[in-house]
Amino acid sequence: MKTIGDNMKTIGFIGLGVMGRSMAANIKKAGYDLRIYTRRKATAGDLIADGATWCDTVAGLASGCDAIITIVGYPQDVEEVYCGKGGLLESAGQGTILIDMTTSSPSLALRIYTAAKKKGIAALDAPVSGGDVGAKNGTLSIMIGGDKSSFETALPLFESMGKNIVYQGKAGAGQHCKASNQIAIASTMMGVVEAIRYAEEAGLDPRTVLTSIESGGAGSWSLSNLAPRMLDGNFEPGFFVKHFLKDMKIALDSSAELGFNPQGLVLAEKLYQKIADAGDGDKGTQVLYKYC
């Protein structure tokens, strides 16, 4: 069990999706007092049974928390939770650390940080990578932006959810790092699918091919973890296509602001938009295999 500092005992958690549920469970397992809020209480049943406290509003959750973690769907959801009436910026007490682990806009992260600082509240942007497997196993890669002192205070909390925990720099830096991550994944997913399809067209057993290429120069998390799901016909989400599209659009918008043209990302976004338009937006990103 993690050693918990005197200033970090009660943790609020908002967003119990595919990844958030496991992340919250790991925080509870680490010995923290966990308070949770989601739009539907039924989704929190297992955590409540395990001792978490249910709160029926964001403002109700914010009262008495040392840190509050959010991992919701889209930037507009982040804005509502933080900036809306009864939101975290209005309801959290001075000294609270707000940690947004949603993949969201770097500019929104900076805006939240600035508004929070004026109220004596700390804010970190800390998006994650590692999918449902990393969330369940507590091995997520976590990239953090904000004040370094706040990062250091929250480090034991991050350690309950991840293994590769890196402070990236000022507010927004975590989101910029996640954009880089998603740009890399976007082109990698196209390569993984084409490699498997090529092996099949050549009359090879793609599983046997995987045993050769996943440990060599072509090796990647996507190749080792998602290619077997493709071959099993398992397209259930570890990470939704619709959320990947959201991430890619954030990266494209940020790239435009920087004057950068990521050509591989542009192509991947077009391919995944076709998948969403065909009705598979709620499938996992490995469903690209069906369309190549």
CA distance 72 to 105: 13
Q: What's the mean pLDDT in 33-55?
A: 92
Residue 238: the pLDDT is 84
Q: Class for domain 10-171, per CATH?
A: alpha beta
Q: Could you give the percent of the chain with pLDDT greater than 90?
A: 90
Per-residue confidence band for 83, with pLDDT thresholds at 50, 70 and 90: very high
Of 47, 36, 43, the closest CA to residue 14 belongs to 36
Q: What's the mean pLDDT in 244-272?
A: 96
Pairing label, strands 162-169, 140-145: parallel
Residue 166: the pLDDT is 98
Of 196, 276, 280, the closest CA to residue 232 belongs to 196
The pLDDT of residue 167 is above 80: yes
Q: What's the mean pLDDT in 274-279?
A: 98
Mean of per-residue pLDDT scores for the chain: 94
CA distance 81 to 127: 16
Per-residue confidence band for 4, with pLDDT thresholds at 50, 70 and 90: very low
Per-residue confidence band for 215, with pLDDT thresholds at 50, 70 and 90: very high
Q: What's the mean pLDDT in 222-231?
A: 96
Cα separations in angstroms, 219 against 56, 131, 182: 45, 17, 17
pLDDT tens across 66-76, in order? 999 999 989 99
Catalytic residue among 178, 242, 270, 274: 178
Per-residue confidence band for 278, with pLDDT thresholds at 50, 70 and 90: very high
Q: What's the mean pLDDT in 166-189?
A: 97
The pLDDT of residue 6 is above 70: no
Fold exhibited by the domain 179-291: N-(1-d-carboxylethyl)-l-norvaline Dehydrogenase; domain 2 (1.10.1040)
CA distance 68 to 208: 46
Q: What's the mean pLDDT in 138-145?
A: 98
CB of 77 closer than 8 Å to CB of 102: yes
Identify the three-state secondary structure at position 141: strand
Of 139, 143, 142, the closest CA to residue 169 belongs to 143
CB of 91 closer than 8 Å to CB of 36: no
**Whether residue 249 lies in the annotated active site:** no
Per-residue confidence band for 5, with pLDDT thresholds at 50, 70 and 90: very low
Residue 127: the pLDDT is 97
- Domain map of the chain by residue range? 10-171, 179-291
The pLDDT of residue 183 is above 90: yes
